[in-house]
Chain A
Amino acid sequence: MSDENKSCSVPSTGEPVAMQSTTPMWIIVTTLILLFIGGVYFDRHSGWFDVKVYSPYSSAENLEAYQPKSSEGAFIARGKKTYEAVCGTCHGPDGLGKPDQAPPLAGSEWVTSKGINRLIHIPLVGIAGPISVAGKDWNMNMAAMGAALPDEDLAAVLSYIRSSWGNKASSIESDDIKKVRATIGVGAQPVTVEALMKLPE
């Protein structure tokens, strides 16, 4: 025992005591640098815990940038889908109409007209009474089939019928629908052709 004590470089002077010493500066600096790097990495990659942002997207803006743009094709495809659900039963999936049910849309001057105000009126308020379509006379009623559709869907449907089955007319945007809808009062009755012709084109 006494030999071991002698080998110590510092002679022991009683019980060891824990003393206070300052934290080395380099540890503080390194910790701060690591915290900073971690913070920057977190900011760039975490998406800030947004519930919609999954890896590999780094932020809500990054996810937004990768949303598919609503292309003309997608808009028309949407119109086709709505058409087949709402209009196709009577006007036919081919737009040729059905005898004693609905006049054709393909080649119809009402559909492909340059002004779109009257065309938009028809699905919004319905139409009643005699009407001449593509040289043939029809006499029947159509309810306001489009009144309950969102502007965007109705615009897509009308754009679809104006650009399908040989029809080649311009697209209609949801703002156009909104404008026409604003001019129509609540509970409007189906228009007749005479009333329709009095409206601006």
Chain B
Amino acid sequence: MKTGVCVFLAAFVSLGASWCGFVLAPVLQLGGAKQTVILQTTDNWPLQRTGDATLGLQVYRANGCAACHTEQVRQTGMANEVTLTGLGIRKPEDFSAFAKSLFVLPELASYTNAIAASLNGWNGALPKTLFITGDNDLASAMADRLKAAGVKSETRLVATGADIARGWGLRQSVAADYLYDQPVQLGSLRAGPDLANIGVRVPDANLQMNHLYAPKSVAPNSTMPSFKFLFEVRQKINGAASPDALNLPKEFAAADGFEIVPKPEAKQLAAYLLSLKANVPLYEAPFTPAK
């Protein structure tokens, strides 16, 4: 074959180029990643997991949790949420009419009707979200107007997107979040909900273990299989329940005189789930944290 060398070189260069792009460059960029700092604080992020939670990652991996659960929050944009926090001398009933007079900015025209509608029948409860916009300048112009009008407002930066709206996190997942995951359990299929923020959403270890033992006891429509083999059914000692025994609804509980106690693996997995958090702002994934 006359062109053998050419074919080899062409294949080598094209495969080598993609290897450089997909493997070498990310390793050079992120291979030496260190802890980063939570925005507007001096606290480090992420923190090393406890021993149980580190072992729990291996239980998560061994049981194939990543086959049905992802650990990555996606985000499609950023928005400014302009919220009314104080009315000053104004009365809530007047504010609606008064607010309309504020909306003389031509850029605000498309928001005016929505704001007026949301103020209709408002009983004066504060804080009240006035409008949400992706335009930074518009938000700050509006904040200036509200300030000049003598009412107090607050502009918060919030992440937007379907995952955020579902409450799966307050911002998108970034590389720093996975610093202590070995291996990273990103997942690619969502037969179940995303777990990147499960430690904040369900911070109760007992509830997590109930859910692992009998998913339907926590979420009646769950399609998750039961992970009963992470638990043990034991005879109660002198009829008294152990401190670790699961407190399940009657139809899921063990027979009289017996109790269900978690094996170490179940405790580790629960500890790992509680360590999953995506609720702090980072430089690369900013938002305004709640006070």
Contact = CB atoms under 8 A, between A and B. Distances in A.
Interface of A: 49, 51-54, 56-57, 63, 65-68, 70-71, 73-74, 77-78, 81, 150, 153
Given A49-B25, A65-B136, A68-B289, 7 more contacts: A49-B29, A52-B283, A54-B174, A63-B286, A66-B78, A68-B39, A81-B41
A68 B291 CA distance: 13
A62 B40 CA distance: 19
Interface string B19-60: 000000100011000000001111000000000000000000
B75 interface: yes
Nearest to B156: A68
B78 A54 contact: no
B136 to A, nearest CB: 6
B204 interface: no
Nearest to A56: B77
B215 interface: no
Instruction: Tell me if B's interface is mostly helix, strand, loop or mixed.
Output: loop
Contact of A74 (B40, B78, B136): B40
Interface in B272-291: 281, 283-289, 291
Contacts of B283: 52, 63, 67
A127 B288 CA distance: 38
Contacts of B288: 68
B39 A54 contact: no
Contact of B284 (A54, A81, A153): A54
A78 B40 contact: yes
A67 B78 contact: no
Contacts of A54: 172, 174, 284-285
Interface string B141-161: 000000000000010110000
Contacts, number: 48
Closest 3 CB pairs of A and B: A52-B284, A68-B288, A51-B29
B76 interface: yes
A71 B75 CA distance: 24
Given A49-B25, A56-B78, A73-B291, A67 B41 contact: no
B286 A66 contact: yes
A71 to B, nearest CB: 8
Contacts of B42: 150, 153
A66 B157 contact: yes
A63 B286 CA distance: 8
Contacts of B29: 49, 51
A57 B174 CA distance: 12
Nearest to B41: A78
Most buried by B among A51, A70, A73, A77: A51
A70 B77 CA distance: 21
Given A65-B136, A68-B39, A153-B42, A53 B284 contact: yes
B41 to A, nearest CB: 7
B157 A68 contact: yes
B40 A63 contact: no
B216 to A, nearest CB: 37
A65 B157 CA distance: 11
A154 to B, nearest CB: 13
A63 B157 contact: no
A158 B41 CA distance: 17
Contacts of B174: 54
A77 B154 CA distance: 15
Given A74-B40, A78-B40, A153-B42, A68 B285 contact: no
B30 to A, nearest CB: 6
B75 A56 contact: yes
Nearest to A65: B136
24 contacts: A51-B30, A51-B175, A52-B283, A54-B284, A54-B285, A56-B77, A56-B78, A57-B78, A63-B286, A66-B78, A67-B39, A67-B283, A67-B286, A68-B40, A68-B281, A68-B286, A68-B287, A68-B288, A73-B154, A73-B291, A74-B40, A77-B291, A81-B41, A153-B42
